[in-house]
Structure 1
């Protein structure tokens, strides 16, 4: 089993790097002030936003490899594993890391919003690649947080830092939306692949053996994380990937209901529903009438 260093606190990571900690729950670490960084796999107990200024080779993130490009942001959430155990080290590293513990967010508006920043669950090959203007905006956000950290801690510190982090993350949401748009042709190709995955799924025996197709299954077929895949589909169609799958299933159900030689229960099981009443409920909610009533219209 590979040796993975478990880092519960921001201070533990800074100690590993040989960097100073100004606040126990949040830190900005400037890698250019370090002589080197030893390579190791780490299990993070806090959020990290890594800004990579220069290309620095390949890193393992989960099970995937990723070659950093200049001006890239990578996001890590508590419980994720990143790094590589190759016995090496990076000399004269560049870039910045924002680390903040979930405890910092308690009692702030940001605590409720963290679930909306789905890019913390993107795979590393789905990192944010920024323009020069976008890089400067992000660097300004880092500077604002650092300046507050250098201020004496008082009753306002937590709210100000949390607000600055929220501003940074909101910019990242905007930049990701731009990234989706600039890759629109790729996204349209993805939508075609999504349709094909669903058609192939229902042409196979999977509905009987596995059940209904999941967003995770479809994302895996195109080598994307479920969150990134879902965000791309929503951007392209205005619907969630889950809703898109459900609408596909309803259209497939309509097709089967017009064949007349199958009962409602047989169709439900053929589509992958465990229980016919579940199929009935979803069909009526989507179409406005029961499957039985729909079927009788064609009899």
Structure 2
């Protein structure tokens, strides 16, 4: 499919046959929207989709799960979302909140928006909510929509952004709950992550491609880098990068015992292009240089 670019809030609202309540932010109701034609879309704004339609099989990584709750899907500017063919006689239900980055300029929310990492999750990493959680989030949509329907005054933007931040904070809480309640899924991903690292470290990739990256591991698990990173952080209390580095250091400690090899040789075997980068990481993680560690044993 060709990728269609939709740059503005007005353009998206117009395409869906909806009134533009504000040129930089809008809330739309699926009941009143025309369907988007099946295609891949690149939006120039942030999007939050509140889907009330129950799903059957939903792909999560390589696994299939049957979700029966409402869901929230987040998308940041530049992400590509693909609309598949609609099921016969099925019309999506829910609401859509869209806002342009310019709406947040000069506000505190603009400076911390990157902290809400779920905007970079993929659609199969959606937030699945209980009925109570859904009602609370829906209430936030309604409050923001009502405020946009008012005659705009000097308080309007402050109030809308305040409610938007509350919505995002509740979404963070609910994602934390989702990571906990789907612990069995997370454990399986962590085990597969371990397996990917172990296989990588005994393969030729280590010398050819260097130390595995977070992006590489996430791709192998069919997860977005942000979702994967957040999951590993919650499961291990380490970032995914720290976890990979810890594995590299454990492997390095074993190799250092082989006194027939220089530290530079070991660094190259571990995938470091420059030995000094290995020495710097080792000192940071162990508190001493590789040579000092070798001399202790």
- TM-score normalised by the chain length of structure 1: 0.91
Deviation at 1:295, TM superposition (A): 1.1
What RMSD over aligned residues (CA atoms) do the two structures have, in Å?
Answer: 2.3
10-19 or 193-202, which moves further after superposition?
Answer: 193-202
Pair 1:108-2:95 in alignment: no
1:26-175 matches, within 5 Å, as: 26-34=25-33, 36-55=35-54, 70-84=69-83, 86=85, 92-175=91-174
Distance in 1, Cα, partners of 2:244 & 2:223: 17
Distance in 1, Cα, partners of 2:35 & 2:65: 20
Task: Tell me if the contact between 2:67 and 2:128 (Cα under 8 Å) persists in the aligned partners.
Answer: no
The C-alpha deviation readout for 1:5-56, integer Å capped at 9, x for no partner, is 2111111001000000110000000011236444333210000000111147
Distance in 2, Cα, partners of 1:78 & 1:193: 31
What SS is found at the alignment partner of 1:50?
strand
Distance in 1, Cα, partners of 2:92 & 2:185: 33
Distance in 2, Cα, partners of 1:99 & 1:193: 36
The residue number in structure 2 matching 1:20 is 19
The residue number in structure 2 matching 1:229 is 228
The residue number in structure 2 matching 1:276 is 275
Task: Tell me if the contact between 1:52 and 1:68 (Cα under 8 Å) persists in the aligned partners.
Answer: no
What SS is found at the alignment partner of 2:42?
strand
The C-alpha deviation readout for 1:88-138, integer Å capped at 9, x for no partner, is 997643110000000001111110111111111111111010001100110
273-282 or 149-158, which moves further after superposition?
Answer: 149-158
What SS is found at the alignment partner of 1:49?
strand
What SS is found at the alignment partner of 1:51?
strand
